[in-house]
Amino acid sequence: MSTDTATPDAESDPIGYFLDDIRYHGKSDRTRASYERVLRDFESYLSDSSQPLPVQEASHRDCMAYVHSIRGDAEESTVATYASYLHRFFAYMTQVGVFDSNPMTLVMEEMDESINTDPTRREVDLQSMRAFVDSISHPLERAITVTLLKTGMRAGELCNLDIRDLNLDTPGPRPDIPVRPGLDGRPDSLFIAADPTRGEASNGEERTASNKRKRETTIPVDAELGAVLRRWLAIRPDTQSPAAPLFVSTSDSWGERLTPNMVHHIVESHAREFGWYTDGGGAEENVTPHYFRHFFTTHLRDRTGDRGVVKYLRGDVAQDVIDTYTHEWGTRVRDVYEAEIYSLL
């Protein structure tokens, strides 16, 4: 362990050090309590083993053993949440120089392999998905569907998009709102932040969903998605929100930011018409917004053979990989994406 930048608190209680830091960073008490519960459970697991270890000396095998220990007693989604908390803890402590490395990086890669390859899911081929998209005529509903399919983002992340998060080279009838500084010089791009949290304000508006990305991500917008978004912007209702959400309701909640429930309802209604959604069908049968993320991952990964780029676009990679791909934006991520992204229209 490196001691050059460590403080006594970081040495004696790295978990407490981390919890203090995330409080200073503005994390809510509820979020901090969730981290504390998971991290202290991990600490207890290490101390109860045949060879007790301090947290800072845990290896990737120790981390794998802990994740394995909670399987069977918890839902897979809970296991993934515990793993993500550990990963963020180790990544942060490594970044600030308290730990030498992040033993969870390899564990997360192995978990991604098992989660992303799900043979029990309904398999929709590209031709069928094109027919599905073609059946959707409403500009908002088509824009939602194509955005999810072309980017692999989550429903909550889509709902949290603001006008400033979209930079189109040919903007069309876009409201006169400057793009984020991070999109300067990156035309035809979407910015997905890591920080919006449900119940907390972001860009002047309280959010109904949380983004779950490890880091902010900039995703290319190809010609198809750009055309669909311009068509939506041409009829997008005005909104009173100071955040100027990109996607707003055109029905009962006219002009208000979409919620994940609204997005799920829209996708479900069209999936039912195609026979792709039945009550009680479960994730293995029903086509939902999360299925679109699976579709994006599977098809783009098979086309590119580059798991790193796909994981970057999904927002699933660690700090060092994110930095590499961000710095190589023009020469790698965008080039790979534009060469390999499937056509839907």
Encode pLDDT of 115-170 as tens digits: 444 445 688 899 999 999 999 999 999 999 999 999 999 999 999 999 999 999 99
Q: Tokens at residue 86, please?
A: 């550990």
Question: Taking 50 as the threshold, does the pLDDT of residue 281 lie above it?
Answer: yes
Question: Taking 90 as the threshold, does the pLDDT of residue 30 lie above it?
Answer: no
Q: Closest by alpha carbon to 298, among 310, 309, 288, 286?
A: 310
What average pLDDT score do residues 103-114 get? 72
Q: Which CATH number fits domain 14-116: 3.30.70, 3.40.50, 1.20.120, 1.10.150?
A: 1.10.150
Strands (E), 169-257: 189-192, 201-202, 205-206, 217-220
Q: Tokens at residue 211, please?
A: 């983004």
Dump pLDDT digits (tens) for 75-88: 776 788 888 889 88
Q: What is each CA distance from 24 to 19, 206, 238, 310, in whole angstroms?
A: 9, 20, 36, 32
Does 331 or 32 have the greater pLDDT score?
Answer: 32
Q: Closest by alpha carbon to 246, among 184, 190, 200, 186?
A: 190
**What dotted CATH number matches 126-340?**
1.10.443.10
Sequence ranges of the chain with CATH classification 1.10.150:
14-116
Sequence ranges of the chain with CATH classification 1.10.443.10:
126-340
Question: Taking 80 as the threshold, does the pLDDT of residue 57 lie above it?
Answer: yes
Question: Taking 50 as the threshold, does the pLDDT of residue 8 lie above it?
Answer: no
Cβ-contact 286, 278 below 8 angstroms? yes
Q: Tokens at residue 327, please?
A: 């710095």
Question: Taking 60 as the threshold, does the pLDDT of residue 70 lie above it?
Answer: yes
Question: Taking 50 as the threshold, does the pLDDT of residue 3 lie above it?
Answer: no
Question: Taking 60 as the threshold, does the pLDDT of residue 267 lie above it?
Answer: yes
What average pLDDT score do residues 295-304 get? 88
pLDDT at 328: 63
Distance CA 322, CA 301 (A): 17
Question: Taking 90 as the threshold, does the pLDDT of residue 268 lie above it?
Answer: yes
C-alpha atoms less than 13 angstroms from C-alpha of 179 in its C-beta half-sphere:
20
What average pLDDT score do residues 311-340 get? 72
What average pLDDT score do residues 325-343 get? 79
Distance CA 61, CA 67 (A): 10
pLDDT at 48: 82
By DSSP bridging, strand 166-167 and strand 189-192 are antiparallel
Taking the C-alpha atoms of 119, 125, 126 and 131 in order, what is their torsion angle to the nearest 10 degrees?
Answer: -130
pLDDT at 261: 93
